[in-house]
């Protein structure tokens, strides 16, 4: 088994293909995390513990200990992993090792998204039980080695086996001591329309916090953090990364202590979550995915991509070719009727587009964004034939039909709100803060969850709806729940997420063939939690291709191309006012789940031909775009160019995409160097028929062939010919 127990030294060794993690079950100090890094032949690194005791110090020895599950109150001063206030009012905890078990496979996390297995021989799990003798706090740490994926998952179950009430104030999913502090820290931050920009910062002698308190994983930060060697690059150097399988508020941090030792943690955000644990109850943390890469950021990303594509995303659409869609939002906003929709759809159908998506504005009296969320009944003034009418027409054109919902929301001006004013998140006696003139339904309540399941189901059953865009267009304020016990109000944010997951689990089970696409004002809830239910997510409301280079490049640090919705929209762009060619827009959009978001009737004949040929190209190569290995070649954050490539799993098909932002006079040739090809094989370039060896494409490079002028692109497709 790839998870070994050395009984003499009490070491559990998770030994992957490229990674090792060594834990020591210590009779006095509980569970110690001795090593996480490159694969070791032998997990006995108990000698490392000697160094921990070395030297005189002002601090107790606990300050230096590499606890796997650090607690407060005994001289450990970095972010604790678990903290429980007891009935005497203190939060001192001592976790003693009790037992452990190692087994093949991986257990489900009740009600939470997770990395799953399809058979027990894909994974081995070690569950280590730690207990506080005084309070009965019982902590079960689960580590799973996903063997083929070469990643490790970690989650914690916190039980109360005592007889007093405990209040959990910290419930982190992973907390890893690192050697030294000479690292850079990587996080993905942004805002609406500029999501997941890559930040690289030298780790200071301080605490580095990445967090959301917004009740969604957020545009502002992504639930991801990585430490890397100072010399690490896209293709070389060591990287240690964590990402959370969760869609709500989170905290990820990298702290450096006075022994210049870093600790990296990720989990629920203690600022907005406290949990009451009565005797006999237990609390399950979300799962963290831990990636060690010996080969730079691309190595890290490729491990995340494969994990997400094959063992987070589930169901029918996991391996199916994703349809090329057209969405009417930027074409019409709220101003549409059957005739307009038909015109947009029929042009799209004539170009080979496969799915028409009707966005916001089809229900209630919603002609602007100030009303009707919650009233999921078709607006017959706009669509006299109802959803079925428009759906049937689209189906007759040969396209599937999809629909936008924002199920977690309610407009104050809605029948739902008038009937149930207490169904939104709010604090008694306080005004209700609106954002986009809407409030958030209280999904921590089962009756609200059931209402949503019923309302969405009845629309989905009313017509042949093949796709749902599930939007969530504001963040939480007054995140409290009507009627909940006062001491449990601080549980509301997490209970809301559990409610969202229950609703999504139920609906995706009832409608297993419907393709769900997540959305939150673009990419405000782009995380592994959502991807467990919805195989793709709208990456950003920003469809400007130049901005999208950064957004898609940054998103690819963790998430595969098959998770990212990417559309060709109108020029000038509605978010930036920038004008670009339809080719540039399409070449960027094919770096994700390709689609359109404009009225194609407004394009010139030449532009239509460009659209037609990109649609044909995407259909020809989409298996590689969606399932191949994605490699970043050149960063739009660092210069005037960006480039990436996709290689099919069998290595036969290669797609390279290159982009230039600004033009230059009197230019010199710009080359891109492909990666990981077969040095000796020949590759035929489909567009010209030219043949190159793998070594030429990788070392001599390909010369950028984009047209003259700003914002140009080129897509090269190669096939191995032996």
Per annotation, catalytic residue among 184, 471, 653, 678: 471
Instruction: Rule CB under 6 A: say whether 404 interacts with ligand GLA.
Output: yes
Distance of closest approach, residue 533 Cβ to ligand GLA, in angstroms? 18
Instruction: Rule CB under 6 A: say whether 66 interacts with ligand GLA.
Output: no
Instruction: Rule CB under 6 A: say whether 516 interacts with ligand GLA.
Output: no
Alpha-carbon distances of 324 from 73, 174, 314, 566, 610, rounded to whole Å: 56, 38, 20, 10, 15
Beta carbon nearer to ligand GLA, 49 or 435: 435
Element (H or E) spanning 500, and its range? helix 492-510
- Out of 177, 223, 315, 522, the only residue in the binding site for ligand GLA (CB under 6 A) is 522
Radius of gyration of the chain (CA): 26
Q: Any catalytic annotation for residue 653?
A: no
- Out of 250, 363, 538, 559, the only residue in the binding site for ligand GLA (CB under 6 A) is 538
Beta carbon nearer to ligand GLA, 442 or 542: 542
Instruction: Rule CB under 6 A: say whether 215 interacts with ligand GLA.
Output: no
Beta carbon nearer to ligand GLA, 548 or 675: 548
Beta carbon nearer to ligand GLA, 310 or 411: 411
CA geometry: angle 607, 609, 611, nearest 5 deg: 70
Token pair 């963290």: residue: 288
Instruction: Give the separation between CA 473 and CA 530, rounded to whole angstroms.
Output: 15
DSSP code per residue over 115-149: ---SSGGGEEEEEEEEE-TTT-EEEEEEEEEETTT
Instruction: Give the separation between CA 654 and CA 462, rounded to whole angstroms.
Output: 43
Distance of closest approach, residue 329 Cβ to ligand GLA, in angstroms? 5
Distance of closest approach, residue 431 Cβ to ligand GLA, in angstroms? 24
Instruction: Rule CB under 6 A: say whether 473 interacts with ligand GLA.
Output: yes
Beta carbon nearer to ligand GLA, 283 or 404: 404
CB contact set of 396 (below 8 Å; sequence gap of 6+): none
Query: Judged by CB under 6 A, which stretch of 42-50, 165-173, 515-523, 605-613 contacts ligand GLA?
Result: 515-523
Give the CB-nearest residue to ligand GLA: 360
Q: Any catalytic annotation for residue 541?
A: yes
- Out of 203, 383, 519, 643, the only residue in the binding site for ligand GLA (CB under 6 A) is 519
Please say whether the beta carbons of 525 and 469 come within 8 A.
Answer: no
Beta carbon nearer to ligand GLA, 21 or 519: 519
Please say whether the beta carbons of 212 and 218 come within 8 A.
Answer: yes
Element (H or E) spanning 550, and its range? helix 545-555
Distance of closest approach, residue 360 Cβ to ligand GLA, in angstroms? 3
**467: number of Cβ within 10 Å:** 23
Q: Pinpoint the alpha helices (H) of 152-311.
A: 296-311
Instruction: Give the separation between CA 464 and CA 26, rounded to whole angstroms.
Output: 59
- Out of 30, 80, 296, 521, the only residue in the binding site for ligand GLA (CB under 6 A) is 521
Instruction: Rule CB under 6 A: say whether 70 interacts with ligand GLA.
Output: no
Query: Judged by CB under 6 A, which stretch of 249-257, 519-527, 620-628, 689-697 contacts ligand GLA?
Result: 519-527
**632: number of Cβ within 10 Å:** 21
Beta carbon nearer to ligand GLA, 122 or 375: 375
Distance of closest approach, residue 345 Cβ to ligand GLA, in angstroms? 17
Query: Judged by CB under 6 A, which stretch of 215-223, 448-456, 516-524, 562-570 contacts ligand GLA?
Result: 516-524
Is residue 572 reached through a cis peptide bond, with omega within 30 degrees of 0 on the bond before it? yes
- From 498, 441, 440, select the one nearest 474 (Cα to Cα): 440
Instruction: Rule CB under 6 A: say whether 565 interacts with ligand GLA.
Output: no
Beta carbon nearer to ligand GLA, 19 or 566: 566
Distance of closest approach, residue 525 Cβ to ligand GLA, in angstroms? 10
Please say whether the beta carbons of 234 and 297 come within 8 A.
Answer: yes
- From 96, 97, 99, 103, select the one nearest 144 (Cα to Cα): 103
Distance of closest approach, residue 327 Cβ to ligand GLA, in angstroms? 7
Beta carbon nearer to ligand GLA, 369 or 505: 369
Instruction: Rule CB under 6 A: say whether 132 interacts with ligand GLA.
Output: no
Q: Binding residues for ligand GLA, how many (CB under 6 A)?
A: 12
Collapsing DSSP to helix, strand or coil, 506 comes out as helix
Please say whether the beta carbons of 256 and 183 come within 8 A.
Answer: no
Instruction: Rule CB under 6 A: say whether 541 interacts with ligand GLA.
Output: yes
- Out of 122, 471, 547, 587, the only residue in the binding site for ligand GLA (CB under 6 A) is 471
Q: In whole angstroms, what separates CA 412 from the centre of its chain?
A: 31
Dihedral pair phi/psi, residue 375, rounded to 5°:
-100, 85
Instruction: Rule CB under 6 A: say whether 566 interacts with ligand GLA.
Output: no
Distance of closest approach, residue 332 Cβ to ligand GLA, in angstroms? 11
- Maximum distance among all Cα pairs of the chain, rounded to whole angstroms: 81
Please say whether the beta carbons of 187 and 203 come within 8 A.
Answer: no
The b/e string for 584-611 (b: 16+ C-beta within 10 A; e otherwise) is bbbbbbbbbbbbbbbbbeebeeebbebb
Q: Which residue(s) pair with 643 in the sheet?
A: 634, 658
Distance of closest approach, residue 249 Cβ to ligand GLA, in angstroms? 20
Per annotation, catalytic residue among 91, 132, 375, 541: 541
What mask of x and - would describe binding to ligand GLA in positions 322 to 361, judged by CB under 6 A?
A: -------x-----------------------------xx-
The contact set with ligand GLA (CB under 6 A) reads: 329, 359-360, 369, 404, 471, 473, 519, 521-522, 538, 541
Active site residues: 471, 541
């Amino acid at each position: 088994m790839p998870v070994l127990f050395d009984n003499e030294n009490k070491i559990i060794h998770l030994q992957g293909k490229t990674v090792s993690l060594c834990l020591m079950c210590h009779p006095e100090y509980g569970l110690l995390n001795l090593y996480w890094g490159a694969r070791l032949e032998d997990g006995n690194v108990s000698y490392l513990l000697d160094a921990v005791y070395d030297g005189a110090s002002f601090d107790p020895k606990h300050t230096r200990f590499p606890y796997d599950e650090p607690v407060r109150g005994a001289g450990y001063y970095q972010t604790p992993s678990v903290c429980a206030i007891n009935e005497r009012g203190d939060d001192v905890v001592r976790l003693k090792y009790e037992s452990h078990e190692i087994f093949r496979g991986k257990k489900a996390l009740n009600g939470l998204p997770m990395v799953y297995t399809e058979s027990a021989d894909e994974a081995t799990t070690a569950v280590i039980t730690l207990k506080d003798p005084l309070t009965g706090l019982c902590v079960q740490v689960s580590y799973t080695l996903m063997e083929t994926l070469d990643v490790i998952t970690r989650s914690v179950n916190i039980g109360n086996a005592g007889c007093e009430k405990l209040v959990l104030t910290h419930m982190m999913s992973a907390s890893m001591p690192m050697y030294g502090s000479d690292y850079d820290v990587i996080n993905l931050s942004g805002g609406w329309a500029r999501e997941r920009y890559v930040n690289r910062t030298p780790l200071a002698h301080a605490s580095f916090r990445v967090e959301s308190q917004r009740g969604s994983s957020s545009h502002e930060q992504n639930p991801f953090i990585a430490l890397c060697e100072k010399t690490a690059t896209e293709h070389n150097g060591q990287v240690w990364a964590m990402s959370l399988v969760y869609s709500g508020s989170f905290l990820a941090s990298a702290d450096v202590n006075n022994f210049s030792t870093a600790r990296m943690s990720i989990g629920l955000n203690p600022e907005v979550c406290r949990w009451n644990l009565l005797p006999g109850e237990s609390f399950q943390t979300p799962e963290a995915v831990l990636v060690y890469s010996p080969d730079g950021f691309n190595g890290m990303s490729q491990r995340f991509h494969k994990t997400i594509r094959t063992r987070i995303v589930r169901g029918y659409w996991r391996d199916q070719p994703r349809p090329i869609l057209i969405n009417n939002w930027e074409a019409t906003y709220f101003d549409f009727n059957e005739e307009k929709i038909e015109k947009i759809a029929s042009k799209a159908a004539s170009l080979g587009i496969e799915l028409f998506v009707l966005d916001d504005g089809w229900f209630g009296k919603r002609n602007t964004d100030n009303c009707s969320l919650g009233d999921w009944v078709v607006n017959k003034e706009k669509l006299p034939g109802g959803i079925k009418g428009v759906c049937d027409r689209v189906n007759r054109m040969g396209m599937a039909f999809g629909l936008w919902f924002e199920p977690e929301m309610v407009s104050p001006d809605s029948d739902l709100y008038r009937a149930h004013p207490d169904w939104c998140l709010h604090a008694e006696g306080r005004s209700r803060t609106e954002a986009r003139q809407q409030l958030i339904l209280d999904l921590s309540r089962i009756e609200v969850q059931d209402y949503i399941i019923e309302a969405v189901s009845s629309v989905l059953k009313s017509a042949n709806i093949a796709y749902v865009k599930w939007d969530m267009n504001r963040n939480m304020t007054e995140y409290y729940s009507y009627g909940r016990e006062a001491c449990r109000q601080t549980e509301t944010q997490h209970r809301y997420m559990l409610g969202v997951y229950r609703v999504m689990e139920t609906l995706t089970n009832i409608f297993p063939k419907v393709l769900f696409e997540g959305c939150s004002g673009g990419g405000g809830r782009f995380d592994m939690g959502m991807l467990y239910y919805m195989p793709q997510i709208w990456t950003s409301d920003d469809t400007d291709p130049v901005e999208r280079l950064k957004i898609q490049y940054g998103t690819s640090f963790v998430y595969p191309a098959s998770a990212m919705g990417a559309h060709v929209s109108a020029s000038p762009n509605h978010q930036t006012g920038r004008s670009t060619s339809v080719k540039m827009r399409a070449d960027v959009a094919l770096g994700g789940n390709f689609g359109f978001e404009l009225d194609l009737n407004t394009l010139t004949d030449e532009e239509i031909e460009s659209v037609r040929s990109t649609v044909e190209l995407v259909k020809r190569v989409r298996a590689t775009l969606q399932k191949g290995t994605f490699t970043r070649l050149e960063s739009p954050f660092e210069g005037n160019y960006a480039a990436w490539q996709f290689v099919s799993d069998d290595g036969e098909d290669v797609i390279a995409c290159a982009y230039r932002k600004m033009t230059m006079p009197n230019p010199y040739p710009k080359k891109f160097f492909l990666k990981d090809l077969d040095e000796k094989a020949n590759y035929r370039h489909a567009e010209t028929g030219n043949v190159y060896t793998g070594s030429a494409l990788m070392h001599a490079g390909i010369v950028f062939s984009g047209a003259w002028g700003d914002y140009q692109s080129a897509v090269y497709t190669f096939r191995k010919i032996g």
